[in-house]
Homo-oligomer: A and B are copies of this chain.
Amino acid sequence: MAKMIGPALPNLPWQDRPAGAKGPVWRYSANPIIGRDGNRQSNSVFNSAVVPHEGGFAGIFRCDNRAIHMDLYAGRSADGFHWDIEDEPLVFTGADAEVLRKEYRYDPRICRLDGHYYVSWCNGYHGPTIGLGFTDDFKTFTQLENAFLPFNRNGVLFPRKIGGRYLMMSRPSDNGHTPFGDIFVSESPDLVHWGRHRYMMGAIKSGESAWQATKIGPGPIPIETDEGWLMIYHGVITTCNGFVYRMGCALLDIDEPWKVLYRTKDYILAPYELYECVGDVPNVVFPCATLNDPATGRIAIYYGCADTVTGIAFTTVDELIQYTKETAL
């Protein structure tokens, strides 16, 4: 039996596996939990991050408004299913006006680390790169330096230092709808300067696992287990009608996480339901956060659907690790 490491989360949102469900992950029956109207100005709410906070839950949400401007908004929930999202975007303060100047912000992750909630996101600064900041209360937010040069997406921190250094996964990109993409890990002594960049894993060019043939990117904050870091990611294939985004899973070495122990050949979730197949960008499931209860092994995955709405899916650490090993590439 695999074990997650960390505090119990007894109020984790949960629904048991329905009869007849196949695969290691199953959807919440009342999906989507957040529709287009997540806040007053939203066109769509998706690719968002949540954490336990003050007995309930807090989150940072990507709400594209009706100008299709991409920005981040704070939200709160008592049960993890029903969310109250603010109507005004996050305001960061910090040292340097150059960095604070805002172009666009999307696809946030939240990482509990060193007693703060660190937020990373795709930040517009002469092209997409990785923005970084932190909060303690989801009311005031401090922005740090951008982690990298453009062009980059999907900056995902590890939830503790490893070897005395902070670690961040990311996916170097171009400045468009990037048709390629591998995952790297970078280190930092201070969350400002980054180096020692390591290749972790890439798209699968062979036909062996075609759903991840075009590009891959890290998803939620990796989950520490006694078997390694459990890491959910997205994979993309190019069809004659565009990209399809699906979810996969990997198990990483606990001390040198750029070493991939196992990685799923099969996807763990794919667009099947109408709210995943139809929307502003059809055929997308895109995970950005999990809630984990080490006491029971339960995991709730928050994921964007068709770049339009937000859903939850469920699994357990046992099922996911077993599946990752069984279907490993």
Contacts and interface: CB of A to CB of B under 8 A. Distances in A.
A271 B193 CA distance: 40
Nearest to A242: B241
Contacts of A195: 145-147, 188, 192-194
Contacts of A190: 193
A149 B36 contact: no
Copy number in this complex?
A: 6
Contact of A188 (B147, B193, B271, B272): B193
A66 B125 contact: no
A170 interface: yes
Nearest to A239: B281
B104 A68 contact: no
A312 to B, nearest CB: 21
A103 B68 contact: no
A218 to B, nearest CB: 13
Interface string A261-304: 00001110011101001111111000000000000000000000
17 contacts: A68-B210, A69-B208, A69-B210, A124-B207, A146-B197, A148-B148, A175-B180, A177-B239, A190-B193, A192-B195, A193-B194, A240-B242, A241-B242, A241-B283, A277-B278, A277-B282, A278-B278
Given A69-B208, A148-B149, A239-B280, 13 more contacts: A43-B267, A66-B211, A67-B211, A68-B210, A69-B265, A124-B207, A125-B199, A174-B175, A188-B195, A192-B195, A193-B196, A240-B243, A282-B283
